[in-house]
Chain A
């Protein structure tokens, strides 16, 4: 078949298919490229830049960059690790992350990446920004303190739920997730069974009355780093 091509990632030759992104091809080959805004059920938008790799000498977001025959890709390098750490550090200081009482702790992708990268404390000054908590919805809590602006909720609501509950509003430091309702989430047609209710990588969109269900030690990322599933099971 002509759509099979060859690329190398960190010196390892792998087979990929035209039409795949670098991230998808790496996943299929059991190579984990860290990512945050990308999600397998959503169209990629390439916004967080955690998945940046070096393609033929140039930095590219692997979740949006399609594979091409003969691409030479660097992923697991000291420089990229530092770059990814910097992004995660910024996300921590630009929000208010109190993992000790966060319902998402142990299952949070931001925290899990920090653990995987061995971050013991962010290197940037903490901003302690003022953010709201929207508890208006009967079943769902929206805690903007923890939002990392990945827009997964925006895409999930549109692409998977056929709704349009979330939207990014504002610019720069003041950018935030807004809701398409009179005032707050409770005024929208958001339902607790929507895909968007389960898509948030952090503890910003939280279902009420189910927090802390899994005991400490048994949560998703307690024992093994995020990405271990991909590294263990090549899907192709």
Chain B
């Protein structure tokens, strides 16, 4: 039997959670003994290639592409984990949630003080994913099995959860590792 596969992705997040993941430092060598990485920004594989044991999702859903990627992860991962406040609660991107979408777009492309846009163009290339009305935490879009909050969650928190899962132990974060900041 091959090693369990792990896929990771960053949706509406800042990559801080992935940076925190890399903060496990030399333990990453232990990790690659235990698992193979599938789709992930770390190896730049674009789509999940085969069934994965664990999917780690950073960021919530702010556009339709985020939703498609999240569906791909849910369909192909046995265990799906929201990691970081953006994934678990929407986080910083949800600051736009009580501002109408049109106002957000106008501020970004038309009215913002640093905007230079003489033709008054709002990007609407089909290549650019459409924004959702609001930013949603992942569990409001698909079923999520575990949540690791924090902005970002500490490397120790991620390590504790991953090693528990990979050794068939319950994922129980010690008190000091459960943080929302």
Contact = CB atoms under 8 A, between A and B. Distances in A.
Interface residues of B, number: 29
Given A100-B181, A106-B181, A115-B175, A121 B90 contact: no
| Size band of the interface chain A makes with B | 20 to 34
A120 B173 CA distance: 9
B73 interface: no
A105 B180 contact: yes
A102 interface: yes
Contacts of B25: none
B98 A100 contact: no
A99 interface: yes
Question: Which of B88, B148, B180 is most buried by chain A, counting CB atoms within 10 A of its CB?
Answer: B180
Contacts of A92: 89
A128 B82 contact: no
B90 A126 contact: yes
Interface of A: 92, 96-100, 102, 105-106, 111, 114-115, 118, 120-122, 125-126, 128-130, 216, 222-225
A21 B97 CA distance: 42
Name A's interface SS: loop
Interface stretch (B2-10, B118-126, B134-142): B134-142
A122 B149 CA distance: 11
B147 A120 contact: yes
B172 to A, nearest CB: 8
B138 to A, nearest CB: 9
Contact of B180 (A114, A128, A216): A114
